Amino acid sequence: MENKAHIPVKQWALPLFLVLVCVGLYLPGITHPFVYDDHGQLEENAYLQNKSHILDVLLLRTLDDEHVLNGRRPWLLLSQMLDYRLWRARVWGYRMVNLLYHAGCVLLLYLLVLRLSRDSLRPAGYAWFAFVSALLFGCHPVLTESVHAPAFRADVMYSFFVLLYVLLGIAWGKTTCLWRRAWLGALMLLTLLLAIGSKEAGVIAPCCLLLLWWLFPVVRPSRRAQLLMGGCSLIVVGLFILGCAGNATFQALNTSWNGLSLRYPTNLYTLPWLWVRYMATLLWPWPLIVDRVIVPVPTWWSLRCLAGGLTLAASILAVFMARRTVPWPGLAVGWMLLAFLPVANIIPLYNPMAERYMYFMTAGFGMLAGWVLTRPNKTCRWGLYARYGILGILLSCYVLLTLWRLEDWRDDETLWRRTLMDEPCSARAHTWLGVEYKAQQQIANASQMFEAAISLNPHDITALVNRAILFGEDGDLAQAEACLREAVMRRPDKPAAHWNLSVALQLQGRNDEALESARQAVALDPYYTPALRGLIVLLAAQGDYGEAIEVSERLLAIDPEDPAACSAVSFLRASPDGVPLTE
């Protein structure tokens, strides 16, 4: 008699439970306001709020425009634009979209493990293994940053499409029907494009599929089919890279040093140690820190580099050894290694390490932990009970830690206070707390925080600019100008430094110099709306109404609802006598 796989619960019950738990876990923070990068990427981003830019995103015109924030991520941009059209200032809507993508990732991982484990585990055990793996992944507290913060949705989105690409790849390799293989292949390539369009790390999707085919012969298609899909996927990746070719910068490559990124060759010496740090955080997710300061490894013979290199080599060796025995540990470790590649700082990143980079990595960790805790034990029933007890304790800790971490994200001040407690060397935490103190009119505390930030990282001029603003508000324009000129000298590529210098000069009545600084700010970033507004005022004050109207129209093209641009155009188009100056 044929032995059919039997699942002792209804097929929809486990997936439904996964969704309820993994989504419900984050509902206590659904009404939290925007924090951290949400302000700059969403709340204050005029480009996203202009519906006329949707066509530019759909036609991939932003790929080679370095002035568009996240321009290389058109699918992410489109989702954020749709968020603004649907939710406006209702932050819970942005967070719900994040949760939907997260729930999708959990379900896709469940289906992936379920599909692969049917042929490698006893019939009654494969559904439980898939369920535990997906549950450990979905509840892991290290995911809080990427799931909770709408600005960090990119990691959840690309993971969703990579998982979908891999699942489609299994179905594509198993089918023998020509027309079905054709439309599945087209859907795979579209999914790959969406993954890369969500975040550049999506390029690892074909590698994940090849790893899976290599470890699980039961789902492996013919060599010709593998070459065909691999070649088509490489073409998609190549076309995307060509579309970005006009963009001069990539992360911290070819840009002024921000004081945090790992410069060559220390990025390569630090790479193995980063692998150790990521694995340690997955195993022991405490404390969770929004701004991790990484001390570079100076030489290859450093103890950290050697220890990390041995750990990395052992991980790679484990993948090869697992192929001959049990493929699941090999797939889990290989999955984490592939997820690590884009964030290994081979190409230096602005932030060398971040919890949001670990989202896709955590799926591999979930598979590994699920295999360890649910694999059959024929010799000792008490060992099985012990593992189930460990699983219950682990899940309870994950839930409690996630709920605890959500409280840290309830507002900017709480988040950065917690960061400063766990990472006292974080210049970013000092700067953000200084901004919060400034808003609360605690000027002495704000000044102290800005001074500490400048001392910790002189290459990040945000604190220096804010300190200049404090001087300006106190009436000390000379000192404010000195701070801003120092900021321009340190980071001449930052439009905020030039724009604030323009304001300081204008307040001193030096309009010609102020106009020049405003022009430099706009030249560095044509979408920098504060400088565009200030440039309109300065041009109008000099009587250059024609150029002032031109700048106003540029501002309207970015944000048609900008009240300053609307009033400026209507005012400047008429002379004092009411005669139109331009048509």
Spatial contact of 205 and 165, defined as CB atoms under 8 Å apart: yes
pLDDT of residue 575: 47
What span, in angstroms and rounded, lies between the C-alpha atoms of 495 and 481? 15
The answer, yes or no, to whether residue 6 has pLDDT greater than 70, is no
pLDDT of residue 7: 44
Domain assignment present for 381: yes
Residue 373 and residue 336 in one domain: yes
Residue 521 and residue 537 in one domain: no
| Alpha-carbon torsion (364, 369, 372, 373), positive or negative | negative
Nearest CA-CA partner of 417 in 403, 402, 437, 398:
437
Residue 520 and residue 533 in one domain: no
Of the residues 507, 525, 543, which one is the last residue of a structural domain? Answer: 525
Residue 551 and residue 510 in one domain: no
3-state secondary structure of 580: strand
Contacts of 81 (CB under 8 A, 6+ apart): 48, 51, 53, 54, 57
Domain assignment present for 8: no
541 band by pLDDT with thresholds 50, 70 and 90: confident
385 band by pLDDT with thresholds 50, 70 and 90: confident
Of the residues 375, 408, 441, which one is the last residue of a structural domain? Answer: 408
The answer, yes or no, to whether residue 94 has pLDDT greater than 70, is yes
Average pLDDT, stretch 258-271? 95
Q: Tell me the per-residue pLDDT of 12-63, one tens digit each, with 9 for 90 and over.
A: 788 999 999 999 999 999 999 999 999 999 999 989 988 889 999 999 999 9
Spatial contact of 57 and 81, defined as CB atoms under 8 Å apart: yes
The answer, yes or no, to whether residue 382 has pLDDT greater than 80, is no
The answer, yes or no, to whether residue 98 has pLDDT greater than 90, is yes
pLDDT of residue 499: 95
Residue 277 and residue 340 in one domain: yes
Question: Range with the lowest mean pLDDT among 85-94, 109-118, 209-218, 381-390?
Answer: 381-390
pLDDT of residue 378: 57
What span, in angstroms and rounded, lies between the C-alpha atoms of 50 and 85? 9
The answer, yes or no, to whether residue 450 has pLDDT greater than 60, is yes
Number of domains in the chain: 3
Q: What is the pTM of this model?
A: 0.94
Residue 92 and residue 234 in one domain: yes
Residue 117 and residue 261 in one domain: yes
Domain assignment present for 419: no
pLDDT of residue 253: 81
Chain mean pLDDT for the chain = 90
326 band by pLDDT with thresholds 50, 70 and 90: confident
Domain assignment present for 324: yes
Question: Range with the lowest mean pLDDT among 126-135, 150-159, 423-432?
Answer: 126-135
Looking at mean pLDDT, say which of 122-126, 495-499, 538-542 comes out highest: 495-499
pLDDT of residue 376: 66
126 band by pLDDT with thresholds 50, 70 and 90: confident
Residue 381 and residue 299 in one domain: yes
Residue 445 and residue 391 in one domain: no
Q: Tell me the per-residue pLDDT of 183-241, one tens digit each, with 9 for 90 and over.
A: 999 999 999 999 999 999 999 999 999 999 999 998 999 999 999 999 999 999 999 98
Domain assignment present for 11: no
Span between the terminal Cα atoms of the chain, in Å: 86
pLDDT of residue 308: 97
DSSP secondary structure, 184-208, as one string: HHHHHHHHHHHHHHH-GGGGGHHHH
What span, in angstroms and rounded, lies between the C-alpha atoms of 553 and 18? 50
pLDDT of residue 576: 43
Domain assignment present for 305: yes
Residue 521 and residue 565 in one domain: no
pLDDT of residue 226: 93
What span, in angstroms and rounded, lies between the C-alpha atoms of 125 and 38? 42
Q: Counting beta carbons within 10 angstroms of the beta carbon of residue 566, is it exposed (0 to 12), middle (13 to 18) or buried (19 or more)?
A: middle
pLDDT of residue 121: 53
Provide, rounded to the nearest whole percent, the portion of the chain with pLDDT above 70. Answer: 92
Question: Range with the lowest mean pLDDT among 80-84, 145-149, 399-403, 570-574?
Answer: 570-574
Q: Tell me the per-residue pLDDT of 501-538, one tens digit each, with 9 for 90 and over.
A: 999 999 999 999 999 999 999 999 999 989 998 998 89
Residue 500 and residue 566 in one domain: no
Question: Range with the lowest mean pLDDT among 165-169, 179-183, 566-570?
Answer: 566-570
Domain that holds residue 219: 18-408
Q: Tell me the per-residue pLDDT of 278-305, one tens digit each, with 9 for 90 and over.
A: 999 999 999 999 999 999 999 999 999 9
- DSSP conformation class of 32: -
Residue 563 and residue 505 in one domain: no
Domain assignment present for 100: yes
Average pLDDT, stretch 122-133? 78
pLDDT of residue 123: 47
Secondary structure (H, E, C), 514-561: HHHHHHHHHHHCCCCHHHHHHHHHHHHHCCCHHHHHHHHHHHHHHCCC
Question: Range with the lowest mean pLDDT among 138-142, 267-271, 558-562?
Answer: 558-562
Domain assignment present for 159: yes
Prior bond of 495 cis (ω within 30°): no
Provide the CATH number for the domain around residue 439: 1.25.40.10
The answer, yes or no, to whether residue 491 has pLDDT greater than 60, is yes
Question: Range with the lowest mean pLDDT among 10-14, 149-153, 389-393, 485-489?
Answer: 10-14
580 band by pLDDT with thresholds 50, 70 and 90: very low
